[in-house]
Amino acid sequence: MEKIQNQKAWFLVLPALAVLFIFSAVIPLMTVVNYSVQDIFGQDYANAFFVGTEWFRDTIRDPELQAAFGRQLAFSVITLLIQIPLGVAIALAMPTRGIMVSVALVLVSLPLLIPWNVVGTGWLLFTRPDIGLLGVALNELGLDYNIQRNPVDAWLTVLVMDVWHWTSLTVLLAYAGLRAIPGAYYQAARVDGASRWAIFRYVELPRMRGVLLIAILLRFMDSFKLYAEPFVLTGGGPGTTTTFLSQYLATIGVGQFDLGRAAAFSLVYFLFILALSWLFYTVITRMDRE
Amino acid sequence: MRIRTSHIGLAAYLIFLILPLYWMINLSLQPNHEILGSFSLYPERYTFQNYITLVTDASWYGSYLNSITYVLLNMAISLTVALPAAYAFSRFSFLGDKHLFFWLLTNRMAPPAVFLLPFFQLYQNIGLYDTHLAVALAHALFNVPLAIWILEGFMRGIPKEIDETAYIDGYSFSRFFVTIFIPLIRGGIGVTAFFVFVFSWVELLLARTLTATNARPFSVTMTQTISATGIDWGLLAAAGVVTMIPGAVVIWFVRNNLARGLSLGRV
Amino acid sequence: MARIEFDDVAHSYSGRPQSEADYALKPIAHTWDDGGAYALLGPSGCGKTTLLNITSGLVTPSQGRVLFDGEDVTAMPPEKRNIAQVFQFPVLYDTMTVEENLAFPLRNRGAPKAHVRKRVRAVAEMLELEGMLGRKAANLGAEEKQKISMGRGLVRDDVAAILFDEPLTVIDPHMKWVLRRKLRQIHAEFGHTLIYVTHDQTEALTFADKVVVMDDGRLVQTGTPQELFENPAHTFVGYFIGSPGMNFLPCRIEGEAARVTPEVAIPLPETLARRAARLSGALELGIRPSRMEVAPTADEGHCTATAETVEDLGSYALCLVTIGSRRVRVRVPEGRRVQPGERLGLRFPQEWVRLYCDNELVE
């Protein structure tokens, strides 16, 4: 749609900006910038002194942070590699007609509507070796499954939990993409003698490209914010095996009140997300134009 | 209907989704000593005692009301400011509009952990710490951008000839917006409200950091069920179950627009 | 290539049809002869596309049998039927090049490489797509896209029939004409059976050797364009074909004439009048506007009419006239000027007068 040039439109945007500026984004972010270049002892803000980029150097060299970042990246990539194909497969299997459509949609959406910490709680209840269905079942099968003790178990459980929690997003997006394909495409493909695979490869996948890009970018970014679920399920352990970026940040920030380090870390973290957002935005605006 | 592999796959996935939830419901209907005493796949002697505790103990139902309060407050704030802003983005081009739209997105994407400290200090300084308003405003960080993005997607679908006709007919902007435009996109507003509600409802980190006792959210109360005698698993499960209620109650109405909301209006 | 027969085929989209109205396609028996160029003509929603999809196998009819050269293919899916179909809107495989699009139906069937290449070249040449074979199909205009869709239909030289479902809807008028001619040429050259669905009579009449007219889920008439024009088997055909459609005047038989108003009786051929006299249904007299003649003066001819409106269409004028309480349209040849309100003498040439009983032609 051709838009009208009108600077007065700013007035319409103003209330939203005011809220975000003051309470949510800009002023708080400025505080972070401010802390990131100062050394503050305890909470004695008056005697803070300027330390330049020292915190940033510290942050980047911090081996624990590097480890957390590595874990985070590995986690995000793996969970995406599972969720996207699985989500597409489920979307392809979803019913297309009748009341079952609504029932399946609602069931699939359920995990998305549960508070994130409750997702952790639910999985804690589900996987405990003494009272959890999965925990008990696996131990009955002779596996020594215990997420409090065994890092591999903890890691895999957090991964499965994330798949449980978020695959539905890909399912819903891919399903919407599939529903938007006109019937003529399928009819033509059938007349052309295309196999089921060829229909998927040449009709469905290209037409889902847009929604899948959105799904990948959103899931990648959101998985970088992962916090509450592993916090409740494993507390980041055993050791630090399931401590991801947000939890590490929360630990040094609110936990240890290490303001400078937390602030520098926040900014690096934020810039990383910013770069991803930029990618997302570029893709979206290009799609909107098409 | 023929049973195919895909049906089996879908059924398996749905069972995978439902099992942990079933288990939570199962545990919530048992007293704690029974949970720890014997393992059973279904509640043999079911009891609603856990739920009765939730509705009679002030710290439980009080914090549930706290959560509902700040979520509704956030919904009101987000929709109020997002509606005109989304309209501006969908209809006009103005100085810096694209940058602004991008900046909004970055707020939706930003990890709340980054804002933890400054929020804590900001709200303490302006005396809002431990109020519902503080959480509602903090959640505006991601919900205002979310609402603007989703609403803009819906508004673009309304031909601008409708606006023009209304202006020609002598409507003022505010009258047109309230009496014509808003009713036209009420479906979109419903979906947006749903997602704003959900994302505020599911958030824990900010809500926990900005509150202490007066506005303590339900999910924080849940993290404190660990007492000297250990964790009351049945009660915890029951608490988990009741957090599913708000979403489950309204999802039916927006089921066909879920993808649109989740993709920021871009499907 | 094959002869395609419909043996008592009917289809309803509702699972349990209660009455005749639930049928999108009412029971029909019909044959598409091998090598024919057919047009399937009818208003929107008359069941044309259903009939087409039953032919290609996209829809399995709720009753009856479909036979290809005598073989029952009713339950056979489209990919096995050897049918090509072109849809209303261009359907392309976006990620493929033009060449890959054209080759797709052949490759799916495992045709040898050399054959694929040969056929793709041939079709590209036919449709003047040679220059763009290497381009991504997604970036082309609507016209090229539809040409490629058609090309995918034409690329298999062994198809039993090629079905076109209003393929030129998105093409602009001039190009429509060009593409239609192209199809005619291809038909003449290769002799495929072509079935062309349209709601546009010009398209149907200029494309087809035989036109099949449908209305409300029924086949009402099959014939050459001339037959449809001169001898509509059903009032619907008379009204639907020709612009404007046939005039119909309710009448009753009096001796050897049809009385259309208390004052006016039109003389009929003797055999027709005798046959009609034995029928009990509602009778109508039908005549094409172009077949009526305007007499030199108002007092000549079979009746006197009053001109109401006159539409000048260049080489002729179209005149709406009243005969008593009835209205008919008359084509007035060039050179004869008619003013609104003018009284005209009209002649109904016997060879062009048709009689319909309960909408069916009396023969």
Q: What tens digit of pLDDT does each residue of A14-34 get?
A: 888 888 887 777 777 787 888
* Pairwise pLDDT comparison (A24 vs A185), residue with the higher score: A185
Whether C295 and C228 map to the same domain: the answer is no
The overall average pLDDT reported for chain C is 88
**What are C313-327's pLDDT values in tens digits?**
888 889 999 988 889
Percent of chain B with pLDDT over 70: 97
**Which residues 144-183 of C have a C-beta within 8 angstroms of A?**
149, 152
Contact in structure between C50 and C24 (CB atoms under 8 Å): yes
Q: What is the DSSP string of chain A?
A: -PPEE-TTHHHHHHHHHHHIIIIISHHHHHHHHHHHTEEEETTEEEEEEE-TTHHHHHHHH-HHHHHHHHHHHHHHHHHHHHHHHHHHHHHHHS--SSHHHHHHHHHHHGGGGS-HHHHHHHHHHHH-TTT-HHHHHHHHTT----TTT-HHHHHHHHHHHHHHHHHHHHHHHHHHHHHTS-HHHHHHHHHTT--HHHHIIIIIHHHHHHHHHHHHHHHHHHHTT--HHHHHHTTT-STTTT--HHHHHHIIIIIT--HHHHHHHHHHHHHHHHHHHHHHHHHHHHHHH-
Q: Are residues C123 and C260 in the same domain?
A: no
Q: Which tokens go with A19?
A: 């809220």
Residue C173 lies in domain: 4-240
Same-domain status, C162 and C280:
no
Q: Does A181 touch chain C (CB under 8 A)?
A: no
Measured CA to CA in angstroms, residue C264 lies from A122, A275, C261, C301, C325 at distances of: 90, 88, 5, 11, 11
Residues C24 and C8 both lie in one domain: yes
pLDDT digit string, tens, across residues C41-89:
988 888 888 999 999 999 999 989 999 988 899 988 888 888 889 988 8
Q: Which domains does chain B have, with CATH numbers?
A: 1-47 (no CATH), 57-262 (1.10.3720.10)
From A91, which residue of chain B is nearest by alpha-carbon distance? Answer: B10
Q: Quick one: what percent of chain C has pLDDT higher than 70? A: 100
Neighbours of A21 (CB within 10 A): 14
Tally the C-alpha atoms within 13 A of residue A263's C-alpha that lie toward its C-beta.
Answer: 25
How many residues are recorded in chain A? 290
Query: Is 90 exceeded by the pLDDT of residue A85?
Result: yes
* pLDDT in the model for residue B1: 46
- In angstroms, the first-to-last Cα distance of chain C is 35
Give mean pLDDT, residues B84-103.
90
DSSP C62: S
Tell me the CATH number at C144. 3.40.50.300
The count of C-alpha atoms lying within 13 angstroms of the C-alpha of C319, restricted to the half-sphere facing its C-beta, is 29
Q: Pick from C212, C240, C268: which residue ends a domain?
A: C240
Residue environment code for A90-127, b if the CB has 16+ CB neighbours within 10 A, otherwise e: bbbbbeeeeeebeebbbbbbbbbbbbbbbbbbbbbbbb
Q: What is the pLDDT of residue C160?
A: 83
Which residues make Cβ contacts (< 8 Å) with residue B12, sequence separation at least 6?
Answer: none
Residue with structure tokens 């400011």? B81
CB B17 within 8 A of CB A123: no
pLDDT at position B16 over 90: yes
Interchain proximity B263–A25, CB inside 8 Å: no
Task: Name the token pair of B23.
Answer: 């288990």
- Tokens standing for B1? 């209907």
Q: Are residues C221 and C295 in the same domain?
A: no
State residue A93's pLDDT score. 93
**pLDDT tens by residue, C141-183:** 888 888 899 899 889 888 888 999 888 887 888 888 888 888 8
* Mean pLDDT score, A195-218: 90
Return d(Cα A252, Cα A223) in angstroms, integer: 20
Tell me the domains of chain A and their CATH numbers: 70-289 (1.10.3720.10)
pLDDT at C191 over 50: yes
Of the residues C218, C240, C262, which one is the last residue of a structural domain? C240
- Are C60 and C41 part of one and the same domain? yes
Express each pLDDT in A34-55 by its tens digit: 878 877 766 666 667 777 788 8
Find chains touching chain C: ≥3 CB pairs under 8 Å. Answer: A
The answer, yes or no, to whether residue C103 has pLDDT greater than 90, is: yes
- Per-residue pLDDT, averaged over B119-130, amounts to 88
CB atoms closer than 10 angstroms to residue A283 = 16
Mean model confidence pLDDT for chain B: 89
| A129-184 pLDDT, tens digit each | 888 999 999 998 988 888 888 899 999 999 999 999 999 999 999 999 999 999 88
What are the pLDDT digits (tens) for C281-297?
Answer: 899 999 999 999 888 88
Residues C124 and C200 in one domain: yes
∠ CA A200-A205-A210, rounded to 5°: 160
Cross-chain residue pair B263–A6, CB shorter than 8 Å:
no
- DSSP string across C1-60: ---EEEEEEEEESSSS--SGGGEEEEEEEEEE-TT-EEEEE--TTSSHHHHHHHHHTSS-
Contact check, Cβ <8 Å, B91/A263: no
Q: What is the mean pLDDT of residues C18-40?
A: 88
Residue C221 and residue C322 in one domain:
no
Predicted local distance difference test score (pLDDT) of residue B228: 56
Cβ within 8 Å, pair B244-A27: no
| SS3 assignment, position C338 | coil
CB–CB of A182 and C89 under 8 A?
Answer: yes
Residue B31 CB-half CA count within 13 A? 6
Q: What is the mean pLDDT of residues B178-197?
A: 92
Task: Tell me what pLDDT residue B226 has.
Answer: 65
Structure confidence at residue B25 (pLDDT): 93
Angle at A119 between CA A118 and CA A124, to 5 degrees: 90
Total domain count for chain C? 2
Find, in chain A, the residue whose alpha carbon is nearest to that of B217. A115
For residues C272 and C226, membership in a common domain is answered with: no
Pick from C240, C270, C287: which residue ends a domain? C240
Asked if A213 reaches chain B (Cβ–Cβ under 8 Å), the answer is no
Say yes or no for a CB contact (<8 Å) between B263 and A175. Answer: no
pLDDT of residue B21: 94
Whole-number mean pLDDT of chain A?
87
| ipTM of the complex in this document | 0.88
In chain B, which residue's Cα lies nearest the Cα of A116? Answer: B202
Q: What is the pLDDT of residue B218?
A: 92
The pLDDT score that the predictor gives to residue A197 is 92
Predicted confidence (pLDDT) per residue in B25-46, tens digit: 999 998 888 888 888 888 888 8
**Are residues C125 and C106 part of one domain?**
yes
Higher-confidence position of B114 and A196: A196
> What pLDDT band is residue B3 in, cutting at 50, 70 and 90?
low
Average pLDDT over residues A77-95: 95
C105 in contact with A, Cβ within 8 Å = yes
C235 and C252 inside one domain: no
Residues 54-93 of B with CB under 8 A from A: 77, 80-82, 84-85, 87-93
From the number of C-beta atoms within 10 Å of its C-beta (0-12, 13-18, 19+), residue B174 rates as: exposed
Is residue B72 over pLDDT 90? yes
Q: How far apart are CA C161 and CA C158, in angstroms?
A: 9
Q: Can you give the CATH number for the domain in which C306 is found?
A: 2.40.50.140
Share of chain C above pLDDT 90, in %: 31
Q: Which of A86-90, A116-120, C77-81 has the highest mean pLDDT?
A: A86-90
Contact across the interface for A253 and B117, Cβ inside 8 Å: yes
Both C233 and C253 in a single domain?
no
pLDDT at A276: 84
- DSSP 8-state code for residue B181: I
